[in-house]
Structure 1
Amino acid sequence: MKPVRRFLVGVVAAACVATVTPAPAQAAVNPVLAAPYLYQWGNKPNGVTVMNQTGIKAFTLAFILSDGGCNPAWDGSRSLTGADATLIKNIRAAGGDIVPSFGGWSGKKLGQFCSSPAALAGAYQKVINAYQLKAIDIDIEAQEFENATTQDRVLGALKIIKTNNPGVRTVITMPTERTGPNTWGKRLVTRAKELGTPIDVWAVMPFDFGNGGDMFAYTKSAVDGLKNHVKSTFGLTDDAAYRRSGLSSMNGKTDTNETVTPQNFRDIVGWANTKHLARVSFWAVNRDRGGCSGSGSDCSGIPQASYEFTKALTKFTG
């Protein structure tokens, strides 16, 4: 009986081995593609909760600013090792990822307080190292945007970053007019070519044009204007230029009382898929709920379901 038992045990063990298959590897999250902005003031939704309720996999975390010198800090005051680091860790543990955004409309910008491209690259590098990043977003506005010296400093720094971190994707997000980038925006793209700075994604913010209007139509027009300038500057085809272009909308009421409706945004996402844009985002998850009037930081100012814009963004595939 002992030989038979050994044979049966061997057969059972072999069968068990044969039927066990390894779990499929989790696909890497592209933190650039579909990553709405999430900020840590006012209404602060839990990132993991948002992921579980919507299916979104990435966030653009706002903002990295200057602490008064050439040193990066969240909103200019919070350490890279504090609560924001915990938020990033939790999002990644839940299967997601993040891209930090440097700049924004207000506050002290690193591009102003760092004295050279090398110094600014060093500030960017501190954040890349702190979080082992796959991408960074430079939301260039106000004092950084409308200044030739500062534009060149940012582009010089990003060239250094690409040289030292070839796997890190670089995104520049900037204001726009209805027909595409303004003079400063066009200069920024052109100077990137002249300086040899390899920007992976150029994105415009198609809102705050003025009171009212068809925001879906305005968004398409603004992105097309961006695409056309990227195309002519770098000698690309339409398809290749679209694949290096993107947008960041604003959900609900904008600062100038325009309205981006949930249907507008669903249409934007659908159109962006047909053009294979590199990025679609919006400002912001914190506002992705109804219950207030006018433009605010805690809700959209329009009737909507909770996280309606975030859910729509999960349909963007690039």
Structure 2
Amino acid sequence: MSHPSSLPAHVFAPYLEITTPYMAPNLEALAKQTRSPYFTLGFLMGGGNCHAIWGTTGIAATAGFLHQEIEALRRGPAPGDVILAFGGGSDTELAQHCSDSELEAQYQSVLDAYHATAIDLDIEGEALFAHNDSIEKRNHALAALQRNPRNKGVAISYTLPVGPYGLDDPTFPDKETFTQVKHLLTDTRNQHLHLATVNFMTMDYGDYPLHRDMGQDALRAATSVHVLLQTLFFSSTDPEAAQHAWAMLGITPMIGRNDALTVLAFGQEHHLARLSMWSLTRDRACSNQAEFEHHKETPDSQASTVCSDNVSPPWQQPSPYAFLMCFRVFTRL
């Protein structure tokens, strides 16, 4: 039996990458150390078949991995919780490999195994373009889960790509992706799937164009997609439609050159549903420029895979978890 969502209405839940089977993160200790008790754990994926596993670990989602750590976090002195994230930047998203009934069963098995209160579907890359109606199949399975009384109160959200001008920049080279994102969201409405949050990845926009102002881009993108959410999900006659749409919106910046204080202030001003960041495991300054350069996501990227790239002013990161320390005040219990 799943529990009703224990997430606050406005929550900061940074991503924590689960990449090794040998060292489960001590979530309770991390929450105590950082005074930030909510985390997004990713990613649960298909591994090339219709069986949910934890990313590259190969561990089945129903094998009990992380169960004790999650329960300890929930019972801790400052009780917290997790969002279980499916998908990610991978071609092994479950809906690409499952039938309709199998997909619903896989989601349900994860909900049951972790007494999950919140799940997220991070859909990007190939998962947006799968040729087996995976968008419709996924929404159908999630809507069925939501109708099941045993899942009452479980929060369901999507995490989706966006451009620096939202989803309507005709010059952006990946505009086909944004067409699919709009299709996905329209289909959730058509299938009567209630989304607690739509979380947009306001982050490293590839190499278009180089050296963007990532903080201002995040605000510009969020303002644009807010209009879309308001139009799609709320009546034009609702006087509070704009407020409701802000309360449905989440944003996830890439830590580093993102002007964290500006992003935080925007989230607080508009009472967003969620603020996250990619990712907690990168929340430290690079040792030197060479480390940053060696671990860049792409040759032209402003993002490193192992650190925040804060190696020189004005991006000097004073201590580990500095971005978390900035964003954590967004959570309101």
Please classify the TM superposition score into its range, dividing by the shorter chain length: 0.7 to 0.9
Q: Between Structure 1 and Structure 2, which shows a larger proportion of helix residues?
A: 1
Matched, 1:152 2:136: yes
Letter in 1 for 2:59: R
Q: Is the 8 A contact 2:157 2:198 kept in 1?
A: yes
Query: Residue in 2 aligned with 1:287?
Result: 282
Task: Give the superposition deviation at 1:119.
Answer: 2.0
What's 1:15 paired with? none
Over alpha carbons, which structure has the higher Rg?
A: 1
- CA–CA separation in structure 2 for the residues paired with 1:317 and 1:193: 28
In the TM superposition, what is the alpha-carbon distance from 1:287 to its structure 2 partner?
Answer: 0.4
Gaps of 5+ in 1: 1-27, 253-258
Q: How does 1:1-318 map to 2 (within 5 A)?
A: 28-30=6-8, 33-41=11-19, 46-75=26-55, 77-80=58-61, 81-94=63-76, 95-116=79-100, 118-147=101-130, 149-164=133-148, 165-181=151-167, 182-209=178-205, 210=207, 211-236=210-235, 237-252=241-256, 259-260=257-258, 264-290=259-285, 291=287, 292-294=291-293, 295=296, 296-302=304-310, 303-304=316-317, 305-317=319-331
Letter of the 2:75 counterpart? A
CA contact (8 A) 1:176 1:205 kept: yes
The superposition leaves residues 111-152 of structure 1 with CA deviations (integer Å, 9 ceiling, x where unpaired) of: 111122x32121111110011111101011112223471111
How many residues end up aligned between the 2 structures? 282
Fraction of identical pairs, as percent:
28
In the TM superposition, what whole-angstrom CA distance separates every residue of 1:57-114 from its partner, at most 9, and x where no partner exists?
1100011011432221111611333442233233223222111100000251101111
Moved more, 32-41 or 243-252: 32-41
8 Å Cα contact 2:156/2:195 also seen in 1: yes
Secondary structure of 2:223 counterpart: helix
Which piece of structure 1 moves more, 140-149 or 203-212? 140-149
- Tell me the distance in 2 between the aligned counterparts of 1:156 and 1:281: 27
Matches of 1:267 and 1:71 in 2, distance apart? Answer: 41
Amino acid at match of 1:247: I
Name structure 2 gaps, 5 residues minimum: 1-5, 168-177, 236-240, 297-303, 311-315
Q: Deviations over 1:255-313 (max 9, x none)?
A: xxxx32xxx11221111011111111011110001124143333212131210111112
Scaled by the length of structure 2, the TM-score of the pair is 0.78
Distance 1:293 1:191 in 2: 40
In structure 2, how many angstroms separate the alpha carbons of the residues matched to 1:44 and 1:71? 21
**1:40, CA displacement in angstroms?**
2.3
In 1: Cα distance, 2:325 partner to 2:31 partner? 10
Q: 1:283 aligns to what SS in structure 2? A: coil
Partners of 1:61 and 1:101 within 8 A in 2: yes
SS at the partner of 1:121? helix
Higher relative contact order, structure no. (Cα contacts within 8 Å, ≥ 6 residues apart): 2
Give the Cα–Cα distance (whole angstroms) in 1 for the partners of residues 9 and 68 of structure 2: 17
| SS of alignment partner, residue 30 of structure 2 | helix
